[in-house]
């Protein structure tokens, strides 16, 4: 992409309204713009990241055997009256009335709607298990929206819902999502730790939050030494097999947020207990028949009896992750994208846009890199070198290349690794091979 044609409105100054790093950097890097309090428009650079996050989430859900659906944003209030949550939910629910005076709402979550779909279609125990997910915008009318996309009102969430005949089978569905979440966050370059959690308004008696570690995290977290030894991507899980040993391995170590942690009762102490800060990026729940029983979501069992389905729900904050990844990956100069979610692979800077030789060399390299399959942001603007370097650091692509008269004379291109800061002069002909490395 030629920057001269792209829509990438970067900002030099730190916007006053932004209190945390990810919010500041997403505004400065031209990723988002606020449209109303807690409601954001995603500009091209931000949307590319959001789509990459979404794709990883989707791939791991599909691998774990979940099926993608798409439920609407606007729901009928009647369903929420059936579950009893319409009145419980409070001011965070965005309520509205359509032109015929019917009570509607903008879905903050989808337990009721998916249960309604499933109770109409699944009739027999043979139709189970099923796990259905969607990636859709939600709205929660936060009293004080802040921290950019980390606590917005309109936000993108992946929510999955599992339906099983027995508690044992439901536990397997829960474990599958547990493992899929570990893989999902690891693929984004994040260290996520599952922590036993309160279930809150979703209900149920088994729940884990997935917390990524970041110095600027919203909550204090306490966890036992040893998580570093686990690698969720070391082997492909067998989702049809027994996943309990994997889950037991991760839950065998102590980990809790400050909401639950009780220093006096903590089984781990001294150097074995690490204190840090974290950001919640996923939350999974098993809640049995909390929704299926009142809503009549039953199947016929092998013996002909009507059995309410055992349910769980599983959320990933997709838009929140864009912010959370930045919280865990930035420095004073800007964002440092993990490769898997970087909006472009390479930033190519033409240091002398007015110079025919430099421009020719930059155009050639731009063509070669694209030919080799790299997604390149090519800064072909007529701007000062300092501005170009600063913008590249700010938007944080994994690799930067700069073409200028001095390198050209020597037949080399300067290659910078954004994360390590290392600069190397690479012979022009070896660049593609070096990147493929």
* Beta carbon of residue 74, minimum distance to a copy of itself (angstroms, whole number): 6
Burial class of residue 347 in the structure, from the number of CB atoms within 10 Å of its CB (0-12 exposed, 13-18 middle, 19+ buried) = buried
Handedness of CA 41, 47, 51, 54 (dihedral sign): negative
Stretch (H or E) spanning 378: strand 376-379
CB of 6 or CB of 230, closer to a copy of itself: 6
Q: Where do runs of H (alpha helix) occur along 5-43? A: 21-28
At closest approach, how far in Å is the CB of 129 from a copy of itself? 9
x/- letters, 4..43, toward a copy of itself (CB under 8 A): -xxx-x-----------------------x-xx--xxxxx
Contact between 238 and a copy of itself (CB under 8 A)?
no
Least distance in angstroms from the C-beta of 365 to a copy of itself: 21
Backbone angles phi, psi at 50, to 5 degrees: -55, -45
Give yes or no for residue 71 binding a copy of itself (CB under 8 A).
yes
- In this chain, which of 12, 13, 87, 120 binds a copy of itself, going by CB under 8 A? 120
Residue 274 host element (H or E): strand 273-288
What residues numbered 314-333 form the site for a copy of itself, per CB under 8 A? none
Choose between 155 and 181: whose C-beta lies nearer to a copy of itself.
155
Among 55, 65, 166, 359, binds a copy of itself (CB under 8 A): 65
**Per-residue contact flags (x/-) with a copy of itself for residues 143 to 182, judged by CB under 8 A:** x---------xx----------------------------
Please tell me whether residue 101 adopts helix, strand or coil conformation: coil
With CA atoms as reference, report the closest residue to 397 among 381, 413, 380, 374: 374
3-class secondary structure, 56: helix
67 near a copy of itself, rule: CB under 8 A: yes
| Distance (Å, whole) CA 195 – CA 164 | 24
Residue 347's H or E segment, with its range, is strand 346-350
Binding site for a copy of itself (CB under 8 A): 5-7, 9, 33, 35-36, 39-44, 47, 50, 65, 67-76, 91-92, 94-96, 98-99, 102, 104, 106, 113, 116-117, 120-121, 130, 132, 137, 139, 141, 143, 153-154
């Amino acid at each position: 992409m030629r920057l001269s044609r792209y829509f990438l409105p970067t900002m030099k100054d730190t916007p006053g309204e932004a209190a945390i790093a990810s919010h500041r950097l997403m505004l400065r890097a031209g990723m988002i713009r606020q449209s109303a309090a807690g409601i954001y428009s995603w500009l091209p650079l931000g949307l590319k990241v959001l789509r990459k996050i979404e794709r990883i989430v989707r791939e791991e859900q599909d691998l774990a055997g979940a099926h993608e659906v798409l439920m609407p944003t606007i729901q009928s209030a009647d369903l929420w009256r059936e579950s009893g949550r319409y009145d419980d939910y409070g001011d965070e629910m965005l309520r509205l009335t359509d032109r015929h005076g019917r009570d509607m709402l903008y879905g903050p979550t989808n337990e009721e709607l998916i249960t309604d779909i499933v109770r109409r279609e699944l009739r027999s125990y043979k139709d189970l298990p099923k796990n259905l997910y969607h990636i859709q915008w939600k709205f929660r009318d936060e009293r004080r929206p802040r921290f950019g996309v980390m606590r917005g009102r309109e936000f993108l969430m992946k929510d999955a819902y599992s339906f099983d005949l027995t508690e044992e089978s439901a536990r397997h569905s829960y474990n599958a999502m547990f493992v899929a979440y570990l893989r999902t966050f690891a693929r984004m370059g994040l260290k996520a730790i599952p922590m036993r959690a309160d279930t809150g308004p979703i209900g149920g008696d088994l729940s884990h939050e997935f917390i990524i570690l970041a110095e600027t995290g919203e909550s204090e977290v306490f966890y036992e030494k040893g998580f570093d030894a686990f690698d969720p991507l070391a082997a492909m899980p067998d989702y049809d097999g027994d996943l309990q040993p994997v889950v037991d391995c991760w839950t065998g170590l102590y980990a809790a947020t400050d909401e639950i942690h009780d220093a006096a009762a903590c089984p781990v102490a001294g150097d074995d207990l690490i204190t840090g800060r974290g950001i919640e990026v996923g939350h999974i729940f098993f809640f049995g028949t909390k929704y299926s029983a009142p809503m009549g979501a039953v199947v016929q069992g092998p013996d002909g009896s009507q059995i309410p389905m055992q349910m769980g729900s599983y959320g990933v904050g997709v838009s929140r992750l864009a912010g959370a990844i930045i919280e865990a990956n930035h420095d004073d100069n800007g964002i440092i994208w993990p490769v898997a979610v970087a909006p472009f692979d390479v930033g190519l800077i033409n240091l002398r846009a007015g110079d025919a030789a430099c421009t020719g060399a930059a155009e050639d390299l731009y063509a070669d890199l694209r030919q080799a399959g790299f997604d390149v942001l090519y800064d072909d603007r007529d701007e000062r070198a300092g501005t170009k370097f600063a913008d590249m650091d700010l938007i944080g692509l994994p690799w930067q290349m700069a073409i200028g008269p001095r390198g050209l004379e020597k037949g080399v291109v300067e290659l910078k690794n954004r994360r390590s800061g290392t600069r190397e002069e690479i012979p022009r002909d070896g660049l593609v091979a070096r990147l493929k490395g």
